Amino acid sequence: MAIVLAPMEGIVDEVMRDVLTGIGGIDLCVSEFIRVTDTLLPLKTFQRHAPELFQSGHTRFGVPLRVQLLGSEPQALAHNALRLVEYGAKVVDLNFGCPAPTVNRHGGGAALLKQPDLMHEIVSTVRAALPETVLLTAKMRLGFEDTSLTLACAEALVSGGVGELTVHARTKVEGYRPPAHWEWLARIREHVSVPVVANGEVWTLDDYLAIREVSGCDTVMIGRGLLAAPDLARRIAHYHATGEKCPPASWAQAMVWVLDFYAQCRARGEGTPYPVSRIKQWLPQMKRSYPEAEALFAAIRKLTQAADIQTVLDAEIRR
């Protein structure tokens, strides 16, 4: 079994990856997507999105990072994938699932699920450009508006050369609305010849056990569930090791992680909006597990200065 931290654009950057992998239980993480148009991207773009690639390819806590590319131009994706390998990547991941309207309007992400032939061309072109030793993986949704092309898309990716396929068990139109259709994961897994990673609507240990049972998948990718409950992967690992279900971390413990996160954000972006925007993104995600997070967010919501937010956070942990 393995737990993968999902590549959530705009929030799971290197600081969030550092904090969550430091808590434990995560076996692998995937970068936010790097958008590819028709050019070879400069070194600084890869350094900004995936600094771990240039630090042994792992987070500070030894968890490997895979770098994800997003685009619709086969040759450009191939050239940039090869550049990733030159920088040390052992795995390249391709995004066929992002539901963001700005991405889809430019023919990327989930918009490609309307065109299985183009998906196949992209994958086969990238695969041909890479050394045989490099694993090519991909992530998709069940479709754009419906599931009429689900199996065709999965088959296009696998026949094109991906060696592992992650599937978010909803369509683009469904977005993140529950439920996720875990039964489709089993259908895809039975249809293709490569490992399938299950993704979608895993918030608790019981959800994790259920998605594995329904899908038959050994590996599960978790995104929002780990933002809401940062120790979820650690509790899953504990269950696998002992058979015991341990209680979630207390709010006091969660605040230690919040303070670590905010300190790293300030160190990375002091004097910019970065630390303020990042903490305001994370706290609303946590309120599903911690009612205290909602009150804390309300206390900082109108603050714009990093130092003022620091004062509120420091007071919260002393309570």
User: Is 223 annotated as a binding-site member?
Assistant: yes
Local confidence band at 262 (pLDDT 50, 70, 90 cut-offs): very high
Percent of the chain scoring above 70 in pLDDT: 100
Domain at 293, CATH number? 1.20.225
Distance CA 143, CA 150 (A): 6
Question: Which pLDDT tens digit goes with each residue over 61-112?
Answer: 999 999 999 999 999 999 999 999 999 999 999 999 888 777 787 678 989 9
pLDDT recorded at residue 247: 95
> Could you tell me if 227 and 286 lie in one domain?
no
**Tokens 């030159």 map to which residue?**
86
Give the pLDDT confidence score for residue 293 in this predicted structure.
Answer: 97
Give me the domain span that covers residue 277.
249-315
Closest CA to 185 of 151, 152, 160: 151
Distance (Å, rounded) from C-alpha 227 to C-alpha 170?
20
Of 199, 219, 240, which one is at a domain's C-terminal end? Answer: 240
Q: What is the mean pLDDT of residues 270-299?
A: 96
139 marked as part of a ligand binding site: yes
Answer yes or no: is 224 a known binding residue: yes
Q: What is the pLDDT of residue 106?
A: 66
User: Which candidate in 98, 153, 217, 265 is catalytic?
Assistant: 98
Tokens 């987070």 sit at which residue?
59
Indicate if 183 and 230 belong to the same structural domain: yes
**pLDDT at position 143 over 80:** yes
Q: Are 8 and 31 contacting, i.e. CB atoms less than 8 angstroms apart?
A: no
Active site residue 98: yes
Residue with tokens 């002393």: 318
For residue 104, the model assigns a pLDDT of 80
Pick the last residue of a domain from 182, 206, 240: 240
Q: Tell me how many degrees the CA angle 220-84-262 measures, rounded to the nearest 5.
A: 60
The domain tally of the chain equals 2
**Average pLDDT estimate for 190-202:** 98
Mean pLDDT for the stretch of residues 164-169? 98
Could you tell me if 231 and 286 lie in one domain? no
CATH of the domain at 14: 3.20.20.70
Q: Is pTM beyond 0.75 here?
A: yes
Task: Please check whether residues 167 and 275 belong to one and the same domain.
Answer: no
Burial of 94 (0-12, 13-18, 19+ CB in 10 A): buried
State both tokens at 305. Answer: 């200065």
pLDDT category of residue 253 using cuts at 50, 70 and 90: very high
Query: If you average pLDDT over residues 225-246, what whole number do you get?
Result: 97
Q: Let me know whether 254 and 203 are in one domain.
A: no
pLDDT band at 168 (very low <50, low <70, confident <90, very high): very high
Same domain as 189, residue 91: yes
Q: How far apart are CA 31 and CA 228, in angstroms?
A: 19
Identify which of 25, 81, 24 has the alpha carbon closest to the alpha carbon of residue 53: 81
Q: Which two tokens stand for residue 100?
A: 């963001």
Check the annotation: does 143 bind a ligand: no
CA gap 224, 48 in Å, rounded: 22
Mean pLDDT for 165-177 is 96
**Residue 170 and residue 54 share a domain:** yes
- Pick from 214, 240, 266: which residue ends a domain? 240
Residue with the two structure tokens 């900082």: 300
The answer to whether the beta carbons of residues 93 and 126 sit under 8 Å apart is no
Q: Is 68 annotated as a binding residue?
A: yes
Residues near 132 by beta carbon (within 8 Å), at least 6 away in sequence:
none
* pLDDT level of residue 231 (50, 70, 90 thresholds): very high
Answer yes or no: are the C-beta atoms of 165 and 188 closer than 8 Å.
yes
Same domain for 232 and 286, yes or no, is no
